[in-house]
């Protein structure tokens, strides 16, 4: 909506003013009309003026009220408009003109605001800016009986959470659109009210009830919401270890998981606020205290949750030690299957083979393939693990593929690290990395590949 309408009334001789003069008559008298709206304007607590995008100006000469001009113009990106009207002024006596200003919404040609004033113009004399009071005349005028409600009511949002207010206006049960709405934020320390009625919770250790008043002519409603406090509300969950490998040995193999829960300011919260769930309880079950029990061969994801979006998860892989057994392959980022990093940070990934479910035999040789999203991780280098030094084929690393293999005559037991891989996080997203074995055998040449179990993994990179 226009905040300043510059109306140039150009005084000149009748012959020179036969047509529109335009802004080149810079030396002629000019008049600046400043509309004065009832109430503040703008999204930070005042009247929202919707798509009011044109200004109509009607000029009549008094006392005859002869029409001098009736024109309209669009407003610019800053909300200003300018129009030039030529008028005839003879001699030094002032001539009176009536100026009518209308704010129009082009979409339906509705006049939402109107104002009128009388202006005196004298040849060669500058005219000071004139304040022109305007009145709202659109839908839902004062006393028009419009009903007005805001929603959703009694909403609770956490820090940084947001939603958009739903504002309903109706008259005699008929919806009314395009009504300028005044928004007043009564709790600016808790929430920010943006354009269009968006409400965002601010960082506040205390939290508490927040209120936003929305009003039109003659009616108002208050939006009630609660901002969750930072202190004492779970904000982060971390489970250790970052993966689990079990076997189906009798009695059932178990692993006790530990969990750390903190609020947004780093205070430790009791582990009892966490809810444990296994997404494949037929493979591995989990108790309310985080004790995981192997059930049968396979893979399960165990999740520790302390609220919506506040959780951590890890894979639990269960192998069967019946000969030749089930080796378990893992790609671990910082000893976790599911790692987190930021753009620009180094990302080390260790390729590990767990032989817990491979009885007696030692790992003798392997041929492996590792793939990833090169738009998220950039390959940097390799470093030997505690297995024999591998042969690495890095030719396709730029495309997100790495091949490596090794043979160890003395073999290895336990959980040998085959290779350390070094990457740099270069993009936001998931690494989508995948480990596969092309060959896996013991020193006695028993093929372990048919029983191989590969644990899922991923690195999530943020900004």
Stated pTM of the model: 0.58
Long-range contacts of residues 268-276, Cβ cutoff 8 Å, at least 24 apart: 269/232, 269/234, 269/306, 273/234, 273/306, 274/237, 274/304, 274/305, 274/306, 275/304, 275/305, 275/306, 276/302, 276/303, 276/304
Residue 230 has a pLDDT of 76
Nearest to 453 by CA among 369, 333, 384, 358: 358
Domain 147-227, CATH:
2.60.40.1080
d(C-alpha 26, C-alpha 6), whole Å: 12
Question: What integer pLDDT is reported at residue 7 of this predicted model?
Answer: 67
DSSP-derived secondary structure letter, 388: S
Run of H or E including 291 = strand 291-294
What pLDDT sits at residue 219?
74
Q: Where are the domains of the chain?
A: 4-136, 147-227, 231-320, 323-463
Q: Is residue 314 within 8 Å of 337, Cβ to Cβ?
A: yes
pLDDT at residue 145, as a whole number? 62
CATH number of 4-136: 2.60.40
Would you state the pLDDT for residue 46? 34
Query: What is the mean pLDDT of each successive set of 10 residues along the chain, which is 463 residues long?
Result: 59 34 40 62 38 82 91 77 77 83 79 84 71 72 69 86 87 70 89 88 82 80 88 90 94 93 89 97 97 97 93 97 96 97 97 94 96 97 94 92 96 96 97 97 96 98 95
Phi, psi (degrees; rounded to nearest 5) at 87: -130, 155
Whether residue 376 contacts residue 345, with contact meaning beta carbons closer than 8 Å, is answered with: no
CATH fourth-level superfamily of 231-320? Immunoglobulins (2.60.40.10)
pLDDT at 144: 59
pLDDT of residue 449: 97
Question: Which of the listed CATH numbers 3.10.180.10, 1.10.10.60, 1.20.1440.230, 2.60.40.680 matches domain 323-463?
Answer: 2.60.40.680
């Amino acid at each position: 909506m226009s905040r300043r309408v510059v109306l140039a009334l150009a005084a000149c001789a009748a012959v020179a003013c036969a047509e529109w003069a335009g802004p080149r008559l810079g030396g002629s008298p000019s008049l600046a009309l400043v509309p004065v709206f009832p109430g503040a304007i703008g999204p930070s607590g005042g009247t929202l003026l919707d798509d009011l995008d044109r200004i109509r100006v009607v000029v009549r000469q008094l006392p005859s009220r002869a029409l001098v001009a009736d024109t309209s113009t669009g407003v610019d990106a800053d909300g200003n408009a300018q129009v030039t009207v030529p008028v005839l002024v003879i001699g030094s006596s002032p001539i009176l003109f009536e100026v009518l200003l209308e704010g129009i919404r082009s979409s339906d040609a509705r006049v939402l605001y109107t104002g009128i004033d009388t202006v005196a113009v004298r040849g060669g004399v500058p005219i000071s800016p004139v304040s022109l009071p305007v009145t709202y005349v659109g839908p839902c005028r004062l006393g028009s009986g419009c009903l007005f409600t805001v929603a959703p009511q009694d909403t609770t949002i956490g820090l940084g959470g947001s939603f958009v207010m739903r504002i309903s206006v109706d008259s005699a049960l008929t919806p009314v659109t395009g009504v300028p709405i005044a928004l007043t934020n009564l709790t600016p320390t808790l929430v920010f009210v943006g354009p269009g009625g968006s409400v965002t919770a601010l960082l506040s250790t205390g939290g508490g009830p927040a209120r936003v008043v929305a009003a039109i002519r003659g009616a108002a409603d208050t939006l009630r919401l609660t901002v969750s406090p930072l202190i004492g509300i779970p904000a982060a969950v971390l489970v250790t270890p970052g993966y689990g490998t079990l076997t189906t040995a009798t009695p059932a193999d178990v692993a006790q998981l530990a969990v750390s829960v903190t609020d947004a300011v780093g205070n430790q919260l009791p582990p009892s606020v966490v809810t444990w769930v296994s997404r494949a309880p037929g493979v591995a079950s989990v108790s309310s205290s985080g004790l995981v029990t192997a059930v049968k061969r396979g893979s399960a994801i165990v999740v520790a949750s302390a609220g919506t979006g506040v959780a951590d998860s890890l894979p639990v892989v269960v192998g069967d030690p019946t000969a030749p057994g089930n080796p378990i392959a893992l790609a671990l980022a910082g000893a976790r299957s599911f790692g987190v990093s930021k753009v620009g940070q180094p990302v080390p990934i260790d390729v590990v083979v767990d032989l817990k479910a491979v009885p007696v035999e030692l790992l003798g040789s392997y041929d492996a393939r590792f793939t990833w999203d090169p738009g998220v991780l950039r390959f940097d280098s390799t470093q030997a693990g505690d297995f024999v030094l591998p042969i690495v084929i890095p030719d396709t690393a730029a495309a997100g593929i790495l091949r490596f293999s090794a043979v160890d005559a003395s073999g290895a037991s336990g959980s040998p690290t085959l290779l350390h891989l070094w990457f740099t996080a270069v993009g936001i997203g998931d690494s989508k990395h995948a480990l596969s074995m092309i060959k896996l055998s013991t020193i006695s040449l028993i093929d372990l590949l048919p029983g191989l179990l590969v644990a899922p993994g991923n690195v999530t990179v943020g900004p």
